[in-house]
Structure 1
Amino acid sequence: SRTVVINFIRLGWVVCIVWGELGVYFWSLSSCKWPEIGKPTHVLLISDPQVRHPSALWAETSWVKSLGQFLYELNLKRSWHVARRLNPHAVFFLGDMLSAGKFVSSEAEYKAYWQKFRDIFQSDATSPHYYIPGNNDVGMGLSHSSPKNVRLYYSNVVGPFNRPVVIRDHVFICLDAPGLVDDDYQRSGIPYEQLNPVQGGSVEFIKSVSTAGRPLILLSHIPLARPDTAACGPLREKGAIRRGVGHGYQNTLGKDTTAFLLKTLQPSAVFSGDNRDYCEYHHPVEASDRKIEEYTIREVTIKSFSMSVHIRRPGFQLVSLVDPTPTGKSFVDAPCLLPDTSRIYNSLYIPLTLLTLVLLFVFNMYRSRRLCNVALPLILSPLSNSGHSLHPGSNVWSPYTPPVPVSPRNKLPQSLRAANASPAPTMRASRPATPLGSPMLGPAIVFQHEVEEDEEEEDSLYPTQYALQRNGHIGEGGEEWLTPRDDPSPSFFLPVSANPKPSAAQGWSWSWTFVFRGRRRRMTISVPTWNSMRELAEQLSPGADRDMLLRRRGVFWTTVIDALGIIWPTLLLWILFAWWML
């Protein structure tokens, strides 16, 4: 039936929405576990959230682009909601928190922009957040088009550019990579050992770092230099990290800058971002002591946390720390992948939409052909088109009940005039109608009215259809006359209780009486009963009226109406999930 088909498709859409908007994210989280190493401290690394400018949603001229902006931010909030369930002890953002921070023209605008980022990536006191500047946050290069004071806005709103953070006896070096690139341009080939660093710059900070023998982990937005032919490992989706410089960006740090960092800091590991895709590379380092063999420093470029055209699945990095020991390893890390959002829309929602339309169209075509083979019912009574389905044998009588018989059972003869009948019509006067002879009364109600044989004539003042029960009186002179009796006459209709009892199942109701336009009015609000809910469900459920709709409007518009009936609960559920994330 149509009801089964429509509800089955609705159920399928509800399941797909629940899976596509929530289930697939928690499924990806189920395979993402903290690396096991004793009783660790958990650190979450996130790169390239790329939060859009607050005005970007309304600046688009096309509603399609505005919808894309909304879905982009919704995906960020959903991904962060899932990542927070891992309960990290600390979170590091490796730059490009803002997608257009370098174009901000005032500190107030930068503060509003940063507040939007904080609204998406909400933090609590148990999990501190640390931030590293990226080229989209503060700009990069001496000739970039960013406002000159954008770095000042960042320092006033976000915090320092370079800072050491100690967690579980490990030193995390938060490096201002865009500032280091600017220092590299200004040194003009002077070796870093001989360079007089800018006060408060990245080079000065690097030379001042002291670890006191503790493991050091370097965090940089821009990856370190490596050969163009270097592979990134099996977890990278495509390509490799190659050198490249453009307007406001640089793919890797310079070769001399990389050697200066590795030699001066001697990090145990390096984590970087900016490239959007995952990459793992081991940097060879020459030991200063000839007795020690050459060793390597592992660098991991983590995936972008936001959606990007360069990757299918975003991600983040998990790091577990334990107290360092002279012999054992004190930290381990593992990548985590988020769902492929574009695949959810392109491989699930769009095909399911097309499949739904095709199924509805084919089903309505089948119904249309089936209805063409079914003759419409012949309606003989002008009173029977009100939708009532009463028949002569029904126990409930109403004015819509047809008389008996409903229609002739046999075919009428061609001529209704007998052979010896007069050709002229015969005029006869009919007697006044009575309730007994009314064709509007059904056979279920029988009136018992006895009339004596000799009482052929009726009293003209009291015809039988308006009769009152009368008592006889004999007046003076022996003349008998009749008067209406004070007692009520026996009713020919069904008895009605004089004091109807209110239903015991009456629910709560609230009434308000007021005067409007000189008349007293009352408004009553009550809890709907089960019967009213059932009647409403019957009104909403498809039935014969839907068949008539199919006859009147055709297959195409019926398919459109059915599709809208399926879409609205699905859209309501999607809005509910979106509101929950917002």
Structure 2
Amino acid sequence: MTSNSPIPPTLRNLIRDGLARADRFASKSASQVARLRTTGGNSKPLSARTLRRHFLTLPGVLIVLWIYTLYWGERSVFSKSIPECQWENWESWPADANPHRVVFVADPQLVDPHTYPGRPWPLSTLTIKYTDRYLERNYRKIRWDLVPDSVIFLGDLFDGGREWATSESESPEAQYHRYKSQYWLGEYDRFAKIFFDLPVQVSSGSNRRDDACNLLASLPGNHDLGFGIGIQEPVRGRFNAYFGESNRIDILGNHTFISVDTVSLSAKDDDQAREREDLWGPPMEFLDTVKSMIGKSVQRETSWRFNGTLPTTRFRHELVETEQLAISKLFNDAPSSPWEGSVFPSVLLSHVPLYRPPGTPCGPLREKWPPSSPPKGQSEPLANDERNAIAVQRGYQYQNVLTPETSKKITGSIGTLKYAFSGDDHDYCEVVHRGYQSSGSGIREITVKSLSLAMGIRRPGFVMASLWNPVDETGAPLSSAKDFSTQQTMQTQLCLLPDQLGVFIRYGILFVFTVLLLTISAAHTAFFSSRTDASRDMPLLPITNISSSAENEKAELSQFRNHRNPSSNESSSSQTSTSEARNKLWERTQTARTRSSSPIGGYGLPPSRQTYTPPLIDHAGTYAVESNLNHSYYPSHQGYRSIARRRQGLGLFLYEIRMGFAKVGVVLLWYTYLLWNG
């Protein structure tokens, strides 16, 4: 076929397809071409050696270590602490028992400007965020994993609640005058988001939703109101308006819970008590009538539970015509008779613990001050241990324990009292009071740990109580023992929360370790390494196994020619082998280093009469690919090599430090996700 003959249709189709493939190949970006050269021109994954070179580096190892440590500190320690306290792990009721389960929470004390007044921004803001997150995480685990029937707060809901102004009062301390009533409302909203606005879930293995839980948060602490005569009446009125009446009676699990506002009642112990009867008057009036109210509460509970009705009220429930109102008797002449049945076991709720003699030990579960070692030869714990006890002292707006007079008034007014729960101390303390007339076999008082990580203890916690007291319609226990002083109706368990400070310490150790390793690596690269890793790993010349689109087209054309002209097989195979040889760089042999001489007159072959013109297919896609690849065979290393040539010594050291932290710093995204999503 001569050069001026028309192109056969088959060859025309090959040319058209080749040009189309060349255009598609030329449109690929330089990064895609570089990736193709790295992977050998196919879709096979990178080799194990390449993966090790890219990922088994110092920054890569540190990133993996940080990911594991952060997940442990933000997920694992929280997911393990609460399940260890499951009710079934420590309850010992009969198999058919259906106990009422209560969780006592003490002193959450939301951190605010009153907590750390001198702490600068942003440390103050971060402290608030972290403590709130700690409270929210643990409280959600309590509600969702333990699913208690009731949650009772024992005061000190806020840290500076007494300092924030109302419309009628302001803080006695001048430094807090700028915090108006709107600030307290913001703090209340913050408390509600943590403890009240909880997403509703159904506990696994239970058909009861966690929104069926009873919440009692009306008991105030000295950080909510103040203490004694330091309380301002508008501040107390605001607290009661949002959280409920402080002095109250609640029936839970056939037990009578009696809440007493002891921070207000303590104003009666002051020398100016007569002038502040508005403070101690309401709790004192409550104590004077508490016995009769206990009987009425038990009567109302049993009547409704067993009969579906309420006791007789003091007003008639009947329809009266308007014209008969003047002569009708709305008042019931037959008031409800006094309750003659049994009463439930009584439980005192007070923010401030009852009085005990100085040195009364709190037991082995006290964290900050564990029991002192007994003298040699003595196995029993010390009867008087100042180190392990709650200090009997008072100061500005606080008092560690109630006075003996106030404690006697409370216990004597309630009558038979077997259990008491208090807060304020922030650490655990368990004492059995035997010095009160109403104590019977003793009043077991538990001072509950703080739930907050900012209250001076490493392991915050809460107390779980399981109540089981089956009764008949008169309120009497179904068991043979009717004396509540000897019958056990409550079991308790202390549950500890994660040591957040310990988690932060581990983060700090790992951070120092990271800085040390990155510094050593940067110093080695800048001052002790003769050449960079990039230049050491890169070959002197680029090597590729990629076959260009044009070469593939020439191979197809050779096969087409061989099919049309079998006599040209030898030349075609020679061209094919030459094309394949282009894909690799061959080492020159010793004989190829000198030019060989040709015989004079050639090899006897006739001179060529035509000038060889490469077919059109040889040019398809060639120049587009070359133009895309001429700039660099190694785009990922080119910038580093130029920087390595420009920077030396200290400049290269600082550059390596900056790049190392930039790579490891991606774990901040992981930490942010863990921190704000669970």
TM-score interval (norm. to shorter):
0.5 to 0.7
Residue in structure 2 matched with residue 502 of structure 1 by the alignment: none
Instruction: Give the 3-state SS of the residue equivalent to 1:352 in structure 2.
Output: helix
Residue in structure 1 matched with residue 430 of structure 2 by the alignment: 280
Matched, 1:75 2:144: no
Residue in structure 2 matched with residue 14 of structure 1 by the alignment: 67
* CA distance in 1 between partners of 2:257 and 2:534 (Å): 83
What is the CA-CA distance between 1:287 and the residue it aligns to? 4.4
Show CA shifts across 1:67-101 (max 9, x none): 22221222121221222221111111100001111
Instruction: Give the 3-state SS of the residue equivalent to 2:434 in structure 1.
Output: strand
Structure 2 residue runs without a partner (length 5+): 1-52, 167-180, 199-209, 296-342, 370-386, 471-476, 551-581, 594-604, 622-632
Matched, 1:127 2:203: no
What is the CA-CA distance between 1:362 and the residue it aligns to? 3.2
Residue correspondence of structure 1 range 317-336 to structure 2 within 5 A = 317-324=463-470, 325=477, 326=482, 328-336=487-495
What is the CA-CA distance between 1:65 and the residue it aligns to? 2.6
Instruction: Give the 3-state SS of the residue equivalent to 1:44 in structure 2.
Output: strand
What is the CA-CA distance between 1:151 and the residue it aligns to? 1.0
Larger helix share, 1 or 2: 2
Instruction: Give the 3-state SS of the residue equivalent to 2:109 in structure 1.
Output: coil
Residue in structure 1 matched with residue 184 of structure 2 by the alignment: 110
Residue in structure 1 matched with residue 111 of structure 2 by the alignment: 52
Q: Check conservation: 2:408, 2:436, Cα contact below 8 A.
A: no
Residue in structure 2 matched with residue 209 of structure 1 by the alignment: 290
What is the CA-CA distance between 1:337 and the residue it aligns to? 0.7
Q: Which letter maps to 2:222?
A: N
The verdict on how the C-alpha distance between 1:18 and 1:261 changes in structure 2, with shifts beyond 3 A counting, is: same
Residue in structure 1 matched with residue 561 of structure 2 by the alignment: none
More off after superposition, 27-36 vs 159-168: 27-36
What is the CA-CA distance between 1:31 and the residue it aligns to? 2.2
Higher relative contact order (CA 8 A, sep 6+): 2
Show CA shifts across 1:488-517 (max 9, x none): x94261568xxxxxxxxxxxxxxxxxxxxx
* CA distance in 2 between partners of 1:310 and 1:454 (Å): 100
TM-score (normalizing by structure 1): 0.68
The verdict on how the C-alpha distance between 1:545 and 1:267 changes in structure 2, with shifts beyond 3 A counting, is: farther
The verdict on how the C-alpha distance between 1:550 and 1:344 changes in structure 2, with shifts beyond 3 A counting, is: farther
Counterpart among 648, 653, 656 of residue 555 in structure 1:
653
The verdict on how the C-alpha distance between 1:148 and 1:200 changes in structure 2, with shifts beyond 3 A counting, is: closer
What is the CA-CA distance between 1:8 and the residue it aligns to? 2.5
Q: Check conservation: 1:285, 1:295, Cα contact below 8 A.
A: no
Count of matched residue positions in the alignment of Structure 1 and Structure 2: 451
The verdict on how the C-alpha distance between 1:209 and 1:353 changes in structure 2, with shifts beyond 3 A counting, is: same
Matched, 1:354 2:512: yes
* CA distance in 1 between partners of 2:533 and 2:589 (Å): 22
After superposition, the CA RMSD in angstroms is: 4.2
What percentage of residue pairs aligned between the two structures are identical? 27
Q: Check conservation: 2:535, 2:641, Cα contact below 8 A.
A: no
The verdict on how the C-alpha distance between 1:59 and 1:491 changes in structure 2, with shifts beyond 3 A counting, is: farther
Q: Check conservation: 1:361, 1:556, Cα contact below 8 A.
A: no
What is the CA-CA distance between 1:158 and the residue it aligns to? 1.7
The verdict on how the C-alpha distance between 1:314 and 1:544 changes in structure 2, with shifts beyond 3 A counting, is: farther
Q: Check conservation: 1:164, 1:173, Cα contact below 8 A.
A: yes
* CA distance in 1 between partners of 2:126 and 2:436 (Å): 53
Counterpart among 397, 412, 420 of residue 248 in structure 1:
397
Show CA shifts across 1:11-38 (max 9, x none): 2111111110121112222321324133
Instruction: Give the 3-state SS of the residue equivalent to 2:677 in structure 1.
Output: helix
Instruction: Give the 3-state SS of the residue equivalent to 1:372 in structure 2.
Output: coil
More off after superposition, 214-223 vs 320-329: 320-329
Q: Check conservation: 2:418, 2:442, Cα contact below 8 A.
A: no
Residue correspondence of structure 1 range 5-404 to structure 2 within 5 A = 5=57, 6-34=59-87, 35-36=90-91, 37=93, 38-53=97-112, 61-84=120-143, 85-106=145-166, 108-122=182-196, 125-131=211-217, 132-142=219-229, 144=230, 148-185=233-270, 201-210=282-291, 211-212=294-295, 213-237=343-367, 238=369, 239=387, 240-265=389-414, 266-287=416-437, 295-308=441-454, 310-324=456-470, 325=477, 326=482, 328-346=487-505, 348-366=506-524, 369-372=528-531, 389-390=542-543, 395-396=547-548
Show CA shifts across 1:527-556 (max 9, x none): xxxxxxxxxxx999x868667756645234
Residue in structure 2 matched with residue 501 of structure 1 by the alignment: none
TM-score (normalizing by structure 2): 0.59
What is the CA-CA distance between 1:58 and the residue it aligns to? 12
Structure 1 residue runs without a partner (length 5+): 190-195, 413-450, 457-463, 468-488, 497-537
Instruction: Give the 3-state SS of the residue equivalent to 1:281 in structure 2.
Output: strand
What is the CA-CA distance between 1:149 and the residue it aligns to? 1.1
More off after superposition, 58-67 vs 169-178: 58-67
The verdict on how the C-alpha distance between 1:490 and 1:310 changes in structure 2, with shifts beyond 3 A counting, is: closer
